[in-house]
Each structure stands twice: as C-alpha cells, then as structure tokens.
Structure 1
C-alpha cells in the first residue's frame, strides 16, 4: 500500500518571517546609505543656503530643508554614520567590561561572585540615563563622553546576562575535561568558555543595539551628546523643534522617523537573531 505524501498548502515555509526580512533589508539599505553618503547625498551636510530656508519637498530637496537651508536628505544620510557607529562602540565597551566581569563571577563563584553582583546591583540602583548625565556633568558634553558613559551604564546589564549563561556553560563536561588536563582557569575561559558564549552574547547585543541608539539620540537631543554642526539624528530633532512652531514639520520629523524605523528594525531583527544564535541554529 503506497503512502501518500501531502505537500503543505502554500509551499515550503520561509526560514525567516516576512517582517524580519523587511526589517533586515531596510537595515542593509541604511548601512549602505551611510557608507555611500559622500556619493549619494546631493549636498554637503553643512552646506547652508538661507534662501532655501524651510523649503518643503521639491526636486532640489527631496526631503526639504531646515531653518539654515541645509538639505535634510543629505544630513540624514551623513548622520546615519554617527548614529550607527556610536552604538557599536558603546556596546563594544560594555561587552568588553561586562563579559569579563560576568565570566569572572561565574567561574570563581564565592566572594568574587558576590562582589561582582553587589557592584552591578549598585549600578542598577541608578537609572542609566541619570548615571550617564552625572558622568557628562563631570567630564563635559560630547559624543565621546556619551559613548563612554553609556558603555559603563550598559556594563552591568551585559555582565548579568553573561554570568547567567556562563554558569550553565561551566557545568558542562568539557570544562571538567580541560581541568583534568591541567589547563589553567584563565586559559580555559579565554580559549573555550568565552568563545562558546559568543553566539548568545552577540544575539543579546543585537537586541540592545536599538536601545543604545535611542539612548545616544536622547542625549544628543538633550544637548549632552553630539554638538553642532554634527548631523547626528538626535541633534537634528532638537534643532528642528523651533521650525515646528513655524509650521515646518520636516526638520524634526525626518530624523525622528529615521530613528524610529532603525530602532524598530533592529528590535525585530535582534529578537530573531537572539533566538537563532541562542538555540545554536
């Protein structure tokens, strides 16, 4: 008796949901636009033309201009560079410190684990933005200070996550096997433990990317981050506020929409990436 094989209705299922593919494609376009900004931007980001102040969408200015006559499309394209690179540097610093602390706490246990946990708990007692503003108040405003301050603010979050996954990894048989061979703890962590945590940690950092971008944009909006004449998106929103009173919405709306779309896209892609990397698929 021959068995019948029924094909699933609608054909084979896609490995990635439509929303993830759309979000991923959009992020690829944003990255390409940032890299190719000098080639695709119609004007220099700091080119001022007072005769074209607050011009709406037109053939010369596809997204309009700001109060100084600067082309919004060009500024958004160039601003993508700062808005994308700064969160990478921020999370890189947080990962360096957080993974080190989390791995150390999980490996040593005892009083070391208790000490690291108390330090991260104390840092958690302060809201991340407040902690960042306090550091900026001491060392001065600027994108470099903002990246360093937020990197420290995100460190306890990464440390706690690393500790949780490292505790489970340390119980696996291969760790005991390396110990029996006489390999030192620092070498085991550096050559085997941390690399095996890499997939989970990278997935978690992708999820945090959108939040980091929004935090940096918030600092720039408040005047603590990027400073004029930067075309950072958060700063552009702040500079475009005055034009809203005059009925010109584009100077604030264009960078604001760019921030929202990139953050949402990274959240969509990040959750999917974290799920796949964490499960090892």
Structure 2
C-alpha cells in the first residue's frame, strides 16, 4: 500500500479547524474529525498499555473455572473466557505485546529497508540492479509463507515471528525508499555538498535520509497497522505468541472453542480491538502522508 497515492476525501465528515501561528501570520490546519477521533483513540490505547496493571480489575492469568464463559456483569464487564479469565483484564494487558511487537518489527524493517533503498539509489549501476533484484524476489514471495518457513526452521515464538516479518516487510520499505531517494539525489543541495568534499556515506546519513522523513512517516504509520494485523494472524495460527500470553491474536484463537458453546465474546472482544486499532492507524497514517506530501 502506497499512502502517497491515497487521499482523505474532504467533506467526508465535519472538520474542526485549528490555527497555529507561524512567523508573523497564521496558517490554518484542517483536521477531519475522523482523524481527530482516531488520534484520541490511539492515545487512549497507548495509555492503556502503560497503565494496564492499574486499570485491569483482575489478574490476566487468574483462572476461575466456576465462572467459565460468564457473561457481562459488574464483576466481569466484558465476560470471561473458557478458563474463567477476565476478558477486559486480558485485553488491557495484551495491549502491550500487541503494540510493542509491531513497533520493534517496524523499526527493524525500516533500518534494513531504508539502508537498502538508499544504497541502491545512491550507488546506481550494478549495485542498484543487484539490490533491486533481491528485493523483487523477496517482495514477490508471500510474507506470511516466508515467516512460516522461518518459524519451521527456528521454532515458534514471538521473537521468531517479529524477526521473520521484519525481513518480509523490509523489501516493501526498500522499494519505497529507493523511489524517494532517487528523486532526492537529483536535488541541487546534494551536488553542493559534494563540491564541499563531503563523502557519499555522510551525505546520505546526515542529509539525504533525514529529508526523506516527511514522506516516510505517514507510510510507516499505515504500515504499523498492517504489521499489527500480520502479527495477530501469526499468533492466531500459533506461530507467534504462546499461552499464557494475552496477545490479541492468540486470544481470538483461544476463543474459538467457546463459539460452538454460543459464547462470542472471547473471540469478539480481542477481534474488535485488533480491527479498531488497525483502522485507526490507517486513517491517521493516510492523513499524515497526505499532509506531509502536500507540504501543508
């Protein structure tokens, strides 16, 4: 997904205008209420991850078979799972792993992808051709299948899943970075630094890559939502986080057994949490990409 090709339809929802002073005048920044609402929601999710031990009414691993698949009540606001564990407490504690793991994944993928993309654009020639072929092969290979192969070799676990998905996402970031770096490399300031005797590596690290930040930020925010969904999928399939983890994807998988007994909440609660966070990151990321891309 290239957020640079996406736009936030104006007039989709009522907007609120915020004004900030820049220099001697004022410049209006229009923030759609949908983006504002998603930003507030994501802020609340991050706070929930930090303060989960204080917010959770029960221990996430407290088993109470006497309250197995209990419905919503004053004691269990979102009900319980098959083991009688409080769903609200598990979802709150699962927020940490569900956010931290995609963040680490994206950091690793960004370091690899930006490095490969920048080197390919800067060096050109056979280096660009070789790196492009390598990234094309990795890009064409299904990401989840690639990670499953890595898990089969190195074993199950969230660490293996994160490292595998980092390698799967790196080619996507590399191709996007390369296209940006090729355009940036032709800017006059690059030639000016060369004339001053600055080396290529220094120019890339100190000047070129930082100038790509505006275009990369929105893209990476959208990619964060995709990374969260991919990790949740691996956890659901049993290749990532293992019990007694409260990761959302694993909770959905564990709640499947309750569906045949007519209890939907054990799977529905974490499933809604995943969907809501992914959609919120997509909306905010596309808006950021559109604003930064247009220079507003």
Q: Which whole-Å CA distance do the structure 1 matches of 2:291 and 2:102 have between them?
A: 22
Report what 2:10 is aligned to: none
Verify the 8 A CA contact 2:102 2:231 in the aligned structure 1: yes
Report what 1:7 is aligned to: none
Report what 1:6 is aligned to: none
Cα distance change of structure 1 residues 216 and 11 upon mapping to structure 2, 3 Å threshold:
closer
Report what 1:268 is aligned to: 283
TM-score (norm: length of structure 2): 0.90
Verify the 8 A CA contact 2:15 2:33 in the aligned structure 1: no
Does the alignment pair 1:248 with 2:275? Answer: no
Report what 2:140 is aligned to: 125
Cα distance change of structure 1 residues 240 and 191 upon mapping to structure 2, 3 Å threshold:
same
1:278 to partner: Cα distance = 2.7
After superposition, the C-alpha distances for 1:158-184 in whole angstroms (9 at most, x for unaligned) are 000000000110010000000001110
Alignment of 1:61-210 (within 5 A): 61-210=76-225
Q: 1:211 aligns with which of 198, 220, 226?
A: 226
1:92 to partner: Cα distance = 0.3
After superposition, the C-alpha distances for 1:89-144 in whole angstroms (9 at most, x for unaligned) are 00100000000000000001111110010001111221011111111110011000
Structure 2, gaps ≥5 residues long: 1-13, 19-29
Q: Which whole-Å CA distance do the structure 1 matches of 2:248 and 2:112 have between them?
A: 28
Q: Which whole-Å CA distance do the structure 1 matches of 2:16 and 2:282 have between them?
A: 26
Q: Which whole-Å CA distance do the structure 2 matches of 1:25 and 1:13 have between them?
A: 16
Does the alignment pair 1:22 with 2:37? Answer: yes
Deviates more, 1:16-25 or 1:228-237: 16-25
SS where residue 16 of structure 1 aligns?
Answer: strand
Cα distance change of structure 1 residues 244 and 196 upon mapping to structure 2, 3 Å threshold:
same
1:11 to partner: Cα distance = 10
Does the alignment pair 1:60 with 2:75? Answer: yes
Which has a greater percent of strand?
A: 2
Report what 1:235 is aligned to: 250
Report what 2:8 is aligned to: none
Q: 1:44 aligns with which of 40, 47, 59?
A: 59
Q: Which whole-Å CA distance do the structure 2 matches of 1:233 and 1:101 have between them?
A: 32
1:249 to partner: Cα distance = 0.5
Aligned residues: 272
1:50 to partner: Cα distance = 0.8
Report what 2:21 is aligned to: none
Q: Which whole-Å CA distance do the structure 2 matches of 1:227 and 1:248 have between them?
A: 22
Deviates more, 1:14-23 or 1:89-98: 14-23
Q: Which whole-Å CA distance do the structure 1 matches of 2:265 and 2:17 have between them?
A: 41
Instruction: Provide the alpha-carbon RMSD of the alignment.
Output: 1.3
After superposition, the C-alpha distances for 1:193-228 in whole angstroms (9 at most, x for unaligned) are 011111211221101011100000000000001000
